[in-house]
Structure 1
């Protein structure tokens, strides 16, 4: 079994697919330990997941639930085009509602500073 994230500082801000279109969720990670109630938002997306809840399930498996708590803040879709270095954020999750795409873009820009990251509602 792989090592689980025990500290909020160990949880990467972004973990998304390298290319293609896939479902994503915006998650608030909250600390239950020494820095009780400290939190941060993270972006997760996986092309292998058919449902937004599947993405959350993966994240749940990666954390120590005694130390960290997750709260899904909504979802949508992400399209990653590595050739053009463009990431598009759009849509919503039927189960979790629409994520705050502005916050998602803000987090993605830290991970991909040289890329164009945009919100578009042209497709779903």
Structure 2
């Protein structure tokens, strides 16, 4: 598979599907080698994953776990509509609980500055 990610700065803040409705998780990535433990929150979502844990496994497979540690902070669903340039964040994960959707939206807005991103609670 190639070299695994070993630096916090090399972990992209967002990696989600380009379109559709899919499960997502909010993950805290911690740098195990830093003198002061550094971390950041990242958003991951993949339309091919049936379970939120599968989304976590995708990132786990990409990192060097001797240097970085993942801690899932919860999940939900994301709907991405590239035609209207909108992203909706909602729902929860049965296994990980509800992610802090406000933090998720904050992270998404940095990566999609021209898009409308909102939290909706009408849907699961």
Q: TM-score range by the shorter chain?
A: over 0.9
Q: Deviations over 1:81-102 (max 9, x none)?
A: 0000000000000000000000
Q: Give the CA deviation at 1:2.
A: 2.5
Alignment of 1:1-124 (within 5 A): 1-124=1-124
- Mean alpha-carbon deviation: is it higher for 34-43 or for 12-21? 34-43
The CA RMSD over aligned residues, in Å, is 0.8
TM-score by length of 2: 0.98
TM-score by length of 1: 0.98
Q: Distance in 2 between matches of 1:13 and 1:48?
A: 20
Q: Distance in 2 between matches of 1:62 and 1:87?
A: 26
How many residues in Structure 1 have an aligned counterpart in Structure 2? Answer: 124
Structure 1 gaps, min length 5: none
Q: Distance in 1 between matches of 2:55 and 2:7?
A: 20
Structure 2 gaps, min length 5: none
Q: Give the CA deviation at 1:80.
A: 0.1
Runs of at least 4 residues of structure 1 off by over 6 A? Answer: none
